[in-house]
Amino acid sequence: MNSRSALKPLVLFSAAVCFCANLFAQTQNAVSNSILLPKVFLADPQALAESKIKFTANDPSLKPAFDNLFKEADAALKAKPQSVMDKHRVPPSGDKHDYVSQAPYFWPETNAAGKIEYVRHDGERNPESNVDSDANRLGATCSDVSTLGLAFYFTNDEKYANKAAQLLRAFFLNPATKMNPNLNFGQGIPGEVDGRPAGLISARGIVDLMDALSLLENSKSWTADDRTQMRAWLEDYYQWLTTSKIGKGELDAKNNHGSFCNDQAAAIALFLGKTDEARELILDAKTNRIVHQILSDGRQPLELVRTKSFGYSSFNLRALIDMASIAQNLQIDLWHYRATNGGSIFRATQMMAQYADPKQVWTNQQIHGYNHGGLADLILRAAPQYPQTHLADELQFYQPAELISNRCRLLFVTAPIQATNSAANPSRKKGREGRNAQGDTLEE
């Protein structure tokens, strides 16, 4: 056999391998092209579409994240529809359709005159504020509908959309149970004020709700009449949010309150097709918010003055990262924007990410312990935006099992998950040491 004959089988084998590889790539491209990009405002539409392709193909790489999503979706299927009419208390307006909640950090004390007045103790939640509060009802509704909307998008199973429609109708649409489109009485202080701009922080779940509403558009369970009524409710709410004294007061807040309100207003504007207004909200935040919130070394001074400074620094960074994601869908780059003082989302993320390492000690006040676990979402989402940095290295302090089930992996481009360096963190467990055992909520 001559050398040319000897090479022939190898050439044929190589050609076959190339043919199969090309065929696989063409098949993947065909599948990719057959799935339209979803219309979403916070999530990355390309990442979401690719997640759906992987779900359809039974790709094991995202299975833990899908398992976690559907576990939560199945729990949401059993949820009882909630309404502002469920409360026993009557709002100052006399209309139970009005949302009402109580300021969480204000406690009753007897003053020198022997009268009860409410005094602020930052970071210390008064249990009264959790009793009969519409904040819990609104938050649960937004969370459950967001989960159900995603489950419907990935599976096209109407049981998820049908349940989401049930929850939405009860809270926002049915005349007998719907919430009036305002938060005039959010975070009131008994005996002092009926409502405050700060109450809008409890409506931050509306950002995720906008994505869910869009994902439900293709469902027969969420009818044309439902969609029309929901848009009308949101139009009224957006008008109130952007023109009322309370709404404008929260949009003008310099700290995390303003950040979350900015996100909420921009997401609603996008859902309603008010793209120019959404761009204006984001661009205004770009030039007027980051410069006040982030120093050149990444510290967030308006959050560091709090008694839970670690929690609020992470909290505000989450709002800013959400803002960067919304901006990205508007072709505005907040990820790489650097303010005149040198502050940037990158610097803030870099500064906070180092505390994924439990050996790093936070030197500012944090009265309820550290919830380091919440940083994982932020690092997963931010690291791919800065590929020339070592930001993703901080994920070594989490066990892979903590990361692979993270829902962010379905919604955004996220950092790859590597094996954890066990020497760096040999005793890492789900309830990591130092995490706030009370599950404290940041809401003021």
Per-residue pLDDT of the chain (444 residues; tens, 9 = 90+): 444 444 344 334 344 434 434 443 444 444 445 578 999 999 999 999 999 999 999 999 999 999 999 999 999 999 999 999 999 999 999 999 999 999 999 999 998 888 999 999 999 999 999 999 999 999 999 999 999 999 999 999 999 999 999 999 999 999 999 999 999 999 999 999 999 999 999 999 999 999 999 999 999 999 999 999 999 999 999 999 999 999 999 999 999 999 999 999 999 999 999 999 999 999 999 999 999 999 999 999 999 999 999 999 999 999 999 999 999 999 999 999 999 999 999 999 999 999 999 999 999 999 988 888 889 999 999 999 999 999 999 999 999 988 999 999 999 999 999 754 444 444 343 333 322 223 346 667
Asked if 124 contacts 443 with a C-beta cutoff of 8 angstroms, the reply is no
Residue among 355, 362, 343 at smallest CA distance from 300: 343
What is the amino acid identity at position 18? Answer: C
For residue 114, the SS3 value is coil
What is the pTM assigned to this prediction?
A: 0.89
Structure token pair of residue 29: 């491209």
* The pair of three-digit structure tokens given for residue 16, joined into one six-digit string: 């076959």
CA atoms within 13 A on the CB side of 204: 26
The pLDDT of residue 441 is: 61
Measure the CA–CA gap between 64 and 60, rounded to whole angstroms: 8
Torsion of CA 392, 335, 440, 415, to 10 degrees: -30
Tokens of 417: 């998950």
What's the token pair of residue 395? 């994920």
Q: What dihedral do alpha carbons 261, 273, 83, 222 form, nearest 10°?
A: -150
Tell me if residue 240 falls in helix, strand or coil.
helix
Angle value at C-alpha 40, between 343 and 50, nearest 5 degrees: 95
274-444: CATH class: mainly alpha
* pLDDT of amino acid 171: 98
For residue 102, the SS3 value is strand
Q: Where are the domains of the chain?
A: 66-100+137-252, 274-444
CA-to-CA dists, residue 36 to 1, 255, 423, 442, angstroms: 54, 38, 44, 37
Residue type, 210: M
The architecture in CATH of the region 66-100+137-252 reads Alpha/alpha barrel (1.50)
Strands (E), 127-206: 185-188
Instruction: Characterise 231 by phi-psi region: left (phi > 0), alpha (psi -120 to 50), beta (else).
Output: alpha
- What is the biggest distance separating any 2 CA atoms in the chain, rounded to whole angstroms? 111
